[in-house]
Amino acid sequence: MLFVFLTGAGMVLLLRFNLYQGSVWFTSANTVSGKILEWEAEALSYMDLGVHNRELTRKNVVLEQRVKALTELLRRAGHDSTATELRQRELLAEFELIPAEVVSATVSRHDNFLTIDKGAADGVRPEMGVVCGTGVVGIVYQVSSHYALVLPLLNRKSNISCRMRGTDYFGYLRWEGGSPLYASLGDIPRHARIKEGMTVETSGFSAVFPAGLFVGRVAEVANSEDGLSYELRVNLGTDFARLRDVCVLASPNRVEIDSLQQKIEQGI
């Protein structure tokens, strides 16, 4: 212990009262400490990648809806907006976005499901819409404290009201199995002028999704089995095989709507 003490004292005296040795020591110490701090910063940055990705997904969804709103404003710049149109644009901004990550998913079954890492503790409830940066994903089916089961578009029970962008014609999007890239949009009237490449979006006829959310594009126009309407083959905007980051839409009016529906069911 005495030897160590004397060695340390000697080093202090050497570095303190000798300019050259002191400068060499402090330069080397700064280099080592700087390298250690750099490694620490890189490690912390890597650990935060998941948080950054979820935040980017949320911002991407917001920006996408703003672009769609601006496009709609440009398209309708030739006439005055009605009160209904103005109210619809307000509703797009009133949905709270809850970022989530897909922890498990299926795409090859007849009835597929997704599991996300957000649940009741995070404000997620059944019947909430789920979207990603490229379009609509599905609807929350069941929730636990920290997880939720999502009914995606790739499920035969999924039935979402959609319309053709720029028109008032709407139908119901269904998936009948097969390719996870396509779904069918039925009940489109025969007198509607539909062509390939037209955009399919949510109609806004429910509290689950606001109007105008991108769903996909028309890939093929065909007649229905009874010949009374069109049956459209829609190329979905969401690639479910690569889906990871999503957002749950929390509507501020959902509680009020649920209350009214419960009163109807109870006969009040």
Kindly list the averaged pLDDT for each block of 10 residues, start to end, along the chain of length 268: 84 69 60 68 68 76 74 59 44 74 89 92 92 88 93 92 88 89 89 88 84 89 82 91 88 57 56
The model's pLDDT over 214-265, given as tens digits with 9 standing for 90+, comes to: 899 999 988 887 777 888 999 998 899 889 889 898 876 655 555 555 555 5
- Which residues lie closer than 8 Å to 120 by C-beta, 6 or more apart? 143, 144, 145
Q: Which domains does the chain have, with CATH numbers?
A: 49-265 (2.40.10.350)
pLDDT at residue 146, rounded to an integer: 92
pLDDT at residue 113, rounded to an integer: 93
Question: CA–CA distance from 94 to each of 97, 178, 249, 253 (Å)?
Answer: 9, 36, 10, 9
Closest CA to 200 of 246, 208, 187, 190: 187
Question: CA–CA distance from 25 to each of 13, 15, 18 (Å)?
Answer: 13, 7, 11
pLDDT at residue 119, rounded to an integer: 92
Length of the chain, please?
A: 268
CB distance 158 to 152 below 8 Å = yes
pTM for the whole thing? Answer: 0.63
pLDDT at residue 91, rounded to an integer: 44
